[in-house]
Structure 1
Amino acid sequence: MIDHVTLNVSDLRKSRLFYENALAPLGYGLAFGKEEIFWAFDISDGLFEIQQSDGPPPLTPTHVAFRVKSWEEVDAFHRAALAAGGRDNGAPGPRPDYSEAYYACFVLDPDGHNIEAMINPKP
């Protein structure tokens, strides 16, 4: 399952207003974010995120996060992606800055897109 997708936008303020209005009829709304960096919209079982295109590294033009069932699956994804020619963009491990139980890894695909495998069990 895809947990979240992040897209680069050229004007974060304009895009936030666009998505707030466009997603409202679908019952989706702003969940959280950081002024001038990114905004995340709650879309049922996942998040749709927008980020300023000139934001700080390691932001990439596109980011997709796959929700998995275990730390072992995160680790296996990382190994397989590197073996398939991906580049490491964050080894498997806890991400306490995201949330207490968040565990993830990041790889860059052949086109430089940031692909994540993650687990974040709800309490």
Structure 2
Amino acid sequence: MIDHVTFAVSNIARSKQFYEQAFAPLGYKIAFGDEGRFWAFDIGDGLFEIMQAETSAPLPHIHVAFRLGSKAHVRDFHAAALAAGARDNGAPGPRPQYTPNYFACFVLDPDGNNIEAMINQADAA
């Protein structure tokens, strides 16, 4: 089990605002942080952390998938992320190419990271 994931962002204030807004419908909130340096979001069984990059060089793009409890949560995350300024990278819907019950959406955060919200459950509403 992974306890936390941390990745660098180009503008910590912008990314903090983005993730606070995108995570709001999921109930994920800031657990702790250090203004201008990093923020840790409590995502239930672990932490999702962002930190200010220490270089102006281009950052590597990362893919992170959040396993959610319902298709409604996937849809809510997608809508909130787009409202927060994300670029759509795949609307909520079935992804049978992964598994028969896979339902997901994809957005690109302010740094171009591919953020996925998904559920892989036959009886998910």
TM-score normalised to structure 2 length = 0.49
Superposition deviation, residue 121 in structure 1: 1.8
- CA RMSD, Structure 1 to Structure 2 (Å): 2.5
Q: Which has the higher strand share?
A: 1
Equivalent pairs, count: 67
Are 1:98 and 2:98 counterparts?
yes
1:80-91 equivalent positions in 2, closer than 5 A: 80-91=80-91
Superposition deviation, residue 93 in structure 1: 0.0
1:32-51 equivalent positions in 2, closer than 5 A: none
Gaps of 5+ in 2: 6-59
Which aligned segments of 4 or more residues in structure 1 are displaced greater than 2 angstroms? none
Superposition deviation, residue 61 in structure 1: 2.2
Gaps of 5+ in 1: 6-59
Q: Distance in 1 between the 2:122 and 2:72 partners? A: 18
Kindly, what percent of the aligned residue pairs are identical?
68
Could you say what secondary structure the match of 1:98 adopts? coil
Could you say what secondary structure the match of 1:91 adopts? coil
What residue is the counterpart of 1:121 in the other structure?
121
Superposition deviation, residue 122 in structure 1: 6.7
1:1-123 equivalent positions in 2, closer than 5 A: 61-121=61-121
Could you say what secondary structure the match of 1:77 adopts? helix
Superposition deviation, residue 78 in structure 1: 0.2
TM-score normalised to structure 1 length = 0.50
